[in-house]
Amino acid sequence: MQLRLIIERFDPQTNDAAYRQTFTVDWERHETVLDVLLKARRQDPALAFRRSCRSGICGSCAMQIGNISRLACQTLVRDVTGDGGELEIKPLPGFRQLKDLVVDLEPFFAALKRVLPWVITGPHHDGLISPEVSARIETPATCILCGVCDAAIPQNGPVTSAALVKNVRLAVDPRDALGSERMKSAGLTGEGLQTFRELLANICPKGIKLPPVVQE
Partner 1 sequence: MIFHDIVIVGGGLTGLMAAVEAPPGTDVALISKIYPTRSHSGAAQGGFNAAMAEDDSVENHVFDTVKGSDYLGDQDAIETLCSEGPEVIRKLEQMGVPWSRTPEGRPAQRSLGGASFPRACYSADISGHAVLHTLYERALAAGVRIYPEWHLVELLLEEGRLAGLLVYDLATGRLEVVRCRVALLATGGYGRIFRKTTNGHANTGDGTAIAYRAGAVLSDMEFVQFHPTTLYGTNILISEAARGDGGYLRNAAGERFMARYAPQKMELAPRDVVSRSIFQEIKDGRGLGEGYINLDLTHLGADKIHRLLPQVNELAHLYAAVDSSQTPIPIEPAQHYSMGGIRVNRDCETSIPGLLAAGETANVSVHGANRLGGNSLLETVVFGRRAGRRMLEMVKRPMPPRPRVSLERALSNWQANFGVGAPRQSDDSVFAIREDMGRIMTDKVGVFRTGVELKQAMEELAVLRSRYAALRVPAGEHSFNQQLIDHMELGFMLELSEMTAGAAWRRTESRGAHFRIDYPRRNDPDWLHHTLIRRGDDGRPIYEAGTVAFTRFQPQERGY
CA distance 83 to 5: 13
Give the C-alpha separation, 55 to 34, whole Å: 10
Q: Binding to ligand FES by residue 91, rule CB under 6 A?
A: no
Q: Are 150 and 100 in contact (CB under 8 A)?
A: no
Burial class (CB in 10 A: 0-12, 13-18, 19+), 192: middle
Closer residue to partner 1 in complex, CB, 11/192: 11
Listed residue (91, 72, 103, 88) closest to 22, CA to CA: 88
**Out of 3, 7, 36, 61, which residue is the one contacting ligand FES (CB under 6 A)?**
61
Of 178, 172, 183, whose CA–CA distance to 208 is shortest?
172
Between 24 and 43, whose beta carbon lies closer to partner 1? 43
Q: How far is the CB of 72 from ligand FES (least distance, A)?
A: 6
Minimal distance, residue 4 CB to ligand SF4, in Å: 28
Residue 118 Cβ vs partner 1, minimum distance, rounded to whole Å: 4
| Shortest distance, position 56 Cβ to ligand FES, whole Å | 5
Does residue number 15 form part of the binding site for partner 1 (CB under 8 A)? no
Dihedral pair phi/psi, residue 96, rounded to 5°: -75, 130
Q: How far is CA 201 from CA 140, 149, 152, in A?
A: 11, 10, 12
Please provide the distance, in angstroms rounded to a whole number, between the alpha carbons at the two ends of the chain.
Answer: 56
Q: Is 56 in the site for ligand SF4 (CB under 6 A)?
A: no
What is the contact mask toward ligand SF4 in residues 187 to 216, using x (rule: CB under 6 A)? -----------------xxx-x--------
| Least distance from ligand SF4 to the Cβ atom of residue 108, Å | 9
- Selected from 99, 192, 199, 203, the binder of partner 1 by CB under 8 A is 99
Report CA-CA distances (Å) from 56 to 1, 53, 78, 103. 25, 7, 17, 18
Give per-residue burial for 108-129: e unless 16+ CB within 10 Å, then b.
beebbeebbbebeeeeeeeeee
If one asks whether residue 58 binds ligand FES (CB under 6 A), the answer comes out as yes
Site for partner 1 in 148-187 (CB under 8 A): 173, 175-176
56 binds ligand FES (CB under 6 A): yes
Q: Are 176 and 169 in contact (CB under 8 A)?
A: no
Interaction between residue 76 and ligand FES (CB under 6 A)? no
Q: Could you list the residues that contact partner 1 (CB under 8 A)?
A: 11-13, 30, 32, 41-42, 45-48, 50-60, 74, 76, 98-100, 102, 105, 109, 113, 116-119, 121, 125, 127-131, 134, 137-138, 141-145, 173, 175-176
